Structure 1
Amino acid sequence: MKKVALILEGKVAKKFMEVVVSKYFSNNFYLVITKDQTCLPASLPSTFEVHLFDPTSAYKLYPFLDANVNDILIVMEDVKEQRALYEIIRNKTKEIRMILSLEDSNAFKDIKDDRLLVIDRTQFIAQKFIAKLPNVPSVPQGFGLGQGEVMEIGVPFGSVFAYRHLGSLRQKDYKIVGVYRKNEFHLSHSSMVIQPRDQLLVVGNPDALNSLYLQVKSNVGQFPVPFGRDIYLYVDMGLQDTHALKRDIDQALILHEKLKSAMLYIQVLNPTDGIAMQEIRNIECQDIRVVVDFKGMHFIEKLHADSQKKIGLAVVGKELFSCRHRRRALFEIATPVFKTNARGLKGVEKSMVVLNEDMEQNEDISSVMFDVCGQMNLDMLLYDFDPDKRYKTEVIKNYEHLSHIYNCKIKVIRTYTRNPVLFLNKLETPVVHFLPFESCIAQNHLFWMFSTKVEQIAFLSDAHPQMFIPVVE
């Protein structure tokens, strides 16, 4: 058995000892050192050896720190005594693993020690409260890395994941390893169908799990939720003329009317035209607010400040989107972006997405696309182009499944000759073009000439309105 040293004092130490003695007394040999006998139970099993003295006395402590001690757990009230005790032990040995219980881990933030684990009691209690909040992912604490690589996600009624086979999910960077259903645990298998009220046990990349959580919790027909509740339109009078301002405002108003957004914020940068400003202010009402920046704030700075409020959908015109630095800023906030077009949204009845290989790994764009199309009553066109005829069969199956959930019509075009960019350019009426917002879109234009990706070639087109959906790459 391992020999574990327990240096104890206080109420937490007393409760800790009660649990160890009652449940885990036979797991290890315990060396208990304390100057406070009240933290010890009345009787102890034979696996416990107790010594009563002040542990901050190096003279008394050192004889017990022999090669047989593998771990030291320190549960004390006084932070200064804990710090002194840590230094005493480290002067004796650098190999023993130490676990400290603290009210505030900042007292040890200056220490870099791979063999030291600090348990922040304040943080731990806060996490316990957070875990009890509704609509918050359940992340086990004190398990694994503790970075959110394991998560429990409840499936609500109306979720886009309800009634889907596990085999239909591509599960990139995560795996659904089991399902809790009616107080029973079931190991996952490809034919299992997810039901409302299921609790999914998921493991994987923490960022991918956070993205998955938002998707599972997203109800049908609620976009821009889960990204946010509000639409933010950005116009810049220093870059745009009155025609461009009207174009962007008209399309933002249509989006706000058709989507489940709570508010539309019209953010006006560099206000220089008093007449245009008055016309914009006349639009204000209960759910539309005009925010004018008189401080000369740059778009990137303003976007960053607004992103702290959780933007549901950002709307910009080509004048703002054409700059690589501004595209990079939009990419980094990980929020859907709608880029307006020259011909407007009136009369638009269809949407389109060009399928690519990466969509076999990412589910984000499909659920968002169906949600938007369902609210805006748009038919959907899937364009599957591959010169080698390696068509995206699995991606299409996923879209066909979602089409039943959202009650949305889809049409599939498979071709190995008709380039999708040329196809888009020949369309007489605009379509809402959905694109995954990948990092390549934020790159310098010098890289475009070497790219074969439709997203990197078509994103600056002004013929069709475009919706860029953030994805996990």
Structure 2
Amino acid sequence: MKKILIVSDGAIGKHYIERVIGTYTSENLYYVVHTEENRFEGYNPARYKFFQFDPTSFYKISNLLKMDFWQVVLVMENQIDLDQTIKNIRMYKPSIRIIALDIWNSVSPEDDIEWVNMQELIAANLIDYLPNIPVLAKNIGLGSGEIMEVLVPFGSSFVYRHIGSIEQKNWKIAAIYRNRQLIIPSDNKMIQPNDTLVLVGEPSVLRSIYRAIKRELGQFPAPFGSRLYLYIDMAIEKPSSIMGLVRRSINIQKKLRQPLIIKVINPGNIDALRMIKASAEGNVTIDICYDIEPDEGIILSDIKKYYIGLFLVSHKAFCSKAIRKKLYAGNVPVLKLADRSFSSIKESVVILSEEGHIENISTTIFDVSSQFGFNLELINYVHEEGNHKQKAIEHFNNLSAIFSKSIHVSEQEVNPIRKLRERENFLHILPFTDKMFMGPLDVFFSTDPEVLYRKLSRFHQLFIPTQI
């Protein structure tokens, strides 16, 4: 049993002692020194010993310090008395652990004293009362933000999602509170509006998750980034194709209302460069790389440098496996532009697969479709039955009600890719997974629409990472 010495005075000290008495523990024995006569109720006499004397008196406090205390807690409102009390304790027990309350924010930190700054405590607690601020556990674990409590708003991207559909890498949903009741998370549990989630994980990851939970429609390309980025390699692109890429990218930039960066590598066509520069106006920046044969490492470097939220690339460049791998590692949405009009698109199309990745990116799909004004079609290939598909359809229907955006769910018994190839124009949206790197033989025998994305390469395709 650990012996704790508490030295206090004033109202703060009295309140602190009352809180200690109200905290149940059978492991500690408390010796309480108070400068004034106070009556405390509800305490266990076997665990609390009370003394009334002036702790600035070395004679009086040294008699008490003859016992073997584990630590000393000082909650005193008079700074001079506090300093003298510390000197008395150090004279008798130089190495004992001391925790002292700093009311004045003027003490100089000492290595052997743990100062608790009252102003910082008050500010930290008042922050918790502000809306849209994450609540962090300060007295559990490391207290550095690895435990977080988040209220899920009605329009959140996490609403009506199954726990199993949320990829939790370096973080976990530890508990759900609904209507003042605890719900233990499981894969088939669905998050409801106004649920409170308790999250555990790396602090930097939890901050990103918090922003994702609070995000509503109209924010894309957030939370992935804040800028659009067009990648042009003049060594592989025709001049006519380059201008088509620039026109479509500027059209997209105007829709999303975010800055656009046009990156040009291998600048060998002067006329094309002049046309690109002539097109740059407003929030469009041109970045030309004059390095000889730059490698694909420039992609990852620029994603971090410019905080890219949407990467625009031609079909030719995306065909390069090296470029695809860099984009996949960059964990950024990629819009692969085809050689056809983007402004004439009227609908976005999503094909359900058995893997359940679609539910991970569902809110981004709604966000993109909403900002561009596209109708959203969800295609269910009924030849492949699966529980994940039914959950995904239920999830999309719930999101449709939340965001007041209608969707069309169609069921097809033949592979939908064949039917889609007959259409004139649409945006194909699919998750960006490692299926993009499967070998030709595996692709040939596959019926997975995510694997067969190349069959729709003539159309614009948006690849969305499944991780937040």
TM-score, structure 2 as length reference: 0.67
2:449 to 435, 449, 454: 454
Aligned 1:44-193 pairs, distance under 5 A: 47=48, 64=68, 135-144=132-141, 148-153=146-151, 155=153, 159-160=155-156, 168-172=160-164, 174=173, 177-179=176-178, 185=180
Look up the match of 1:280: 276
For residue 374 of structure 2, the aligned residue among 355, 374, 378 is 378
Partner-residue secondary structure (3-state), 1:357: coil
* 2:409 counterpart (395, 408, 412): 412
- Amino acid of the residue matched to residue 414 of structure 1? E
- Specify every segment of 5 or more residues in structure 1 that has no aligned partner in the other structure, as ranges: 53-60, 78-87, 90-98, 102-107, 109-118
Deviation of 1:210 after TM superposition, in Å, equals: 5.7
Opposite residue 177 of structure 1, the aligned amino acid is: I
Aligned-pair CA distance for 1:337? 1.5
Instruction: Please tell me the root mean square deviation across aligned C-alpha atoms, in Å.
Output: 5.0
Contact 1:434 1:468 in 2 (8 A): yes
Post-superposition CA distance 1:315-345 (Å, at most 9, x none): 1122332233332332233322111112231
Give the corresponding residue for 1:58.
Answer: none
Is 1:245–2:234 an aligned residue pair?
no
Once the two structures are TM-superposed, the CA of residue 429 in structure 1 deviates from its matched residue by 0.8
Q: Which amino acid aligns with 2:163?
A: Q
Does the C-alpha gap of structure 1 residues 21 and 407 become closer, same or farther in structure 2, counting only changes over 3 Å? Answer: closer
What is residue 431 of structure 1 aligned with on the other side? 426
Q: Relative to 1, partners in 2 of residues 1:451 and 1:127: Cα closer, same or farther, differing over 3 Å?
A: farther
Among 344, 348, 358, the residue aligned to 1:347: 344
Aligned length in residues: 411
Contact 2:336–2:462 (CA<8 Å) still a contact in 1? yes
Q: Does 1:467 align with 2:462?
A: yes
SS of 2:287's equivalent in the other structure is: strand
2:325 corresponds in structure 1 to 328
Change in Cα spacing, 1:351 to 1:408, as seen in structure 2 (3 Å) is same
Counterpart of 1:301 (choices 298, 301, 317) is 298
- Is the contact made by 2:359 and 2:392 (CA closer than 8 Å) also made in structure 1? no
Q: Deviations over 1:369-422 (max 9, x none)?
A: 122112222222211114354472232122223234444443222234x12333
What SS does structure 2 have at the residue aligned with 1:21? helix
Deviation at 1:279, TM superposition (A): 0.7
Distance 1:15 1:299, change over 3 A: farther
Contact 2:380 2:409 in 1 (8 A): yes
Aligned partners of 2:296 and 2:322 also within 8 Å: no
**Aligned-pair distance for 1:459?**
4.8
Distance 2:383 2:328 in 1: 30
1:433/1:72 Cα in 2 relative to 1: closer, same or farther (>3 Å)? farther
Note the residue ranges of structure 2 that are not aligned, 5 or more in a row: 57-64, 76-82, 84-94, 102-110, 167-172
Residues 306 and 212 of structure 1: CA distance in aligned 2, closer, same or farther (over 3 Å): closer
3-state DSSP class of the match of 1:24? helix
Confirm or deny: 8 A CA contact 1:230 1:313 kept in the other structure. Answer: yes
Partner of 2:263: 267
- In structure 2, the CA distance between the partners of 1:409 and 1:191, relative to structure 1 (3 Å rule), is closer
Distance 1:3 1:233, change over 3 A: same
Deviation at 1:7, TM superposition (A): 11
Helix, strand or coil for the counterpart of 2:223? coil
The CA distance in 1 between the partners of 2:449 and 2:311, in whole Å, is 22
Q: Report the 3-state secondary structure (helix = DSSP H, G, I; strand = E; otherwise coil) of the residue aligned with 1:368.
A: helix
SS at match of 1:224: coil
Q: Match for 2:162: what amino acid?
A: R
Q: 1:132-176: per-residue Cα shift (whole Å, max 9, x none)?
A: 8875533323335756454223627xx246xx9x6x431235377
1:234 maps onto 2:231 in alignment: yes
Task: Return the alpha-carbon distance in structure 2 between the equivalents of residues 120 and 294 of structure 1.
Answer: 55
For residue 402 of structure 1, what is the amino acid of its counterpart? L
Structure 1: how far apart are the matches of 2:378 and 2:129?
A: 41
Distance 1:389 1:17, change over 3 A: same
Contact kept, 8 Å, 2:350 with 2:430, in 1: the verdict is: yes
2:334/2:462 contact within 8 Å kept: yes
Partner Cα separation in structure 1 for residue 50 and residue 446 of structure 2: 70
Structure 2 CA distance for aligned equivalents of residues 428 and 331 of structure 1: 28
Distance in 1, matches of 2:391 and 2:369, equals 21
8 Å contact from structure 2 (residues 226, 258) kept in 1: yes
Distance 1:258 1:150 in 2: 35
How far residue 226 of structure 1 moved from its aligned partner, in angstroms, is 3.3
SS of the equivalent of 1:358 reads coil
Given the superposition, is the C-alpha separation of residues 74 and 249 from structure 1 closer, same or farther in structure 2, using an over 3 Å criterion? Answer: farther
**In structure 1, distance between residues paired with 2:117 and 2:425:** 56
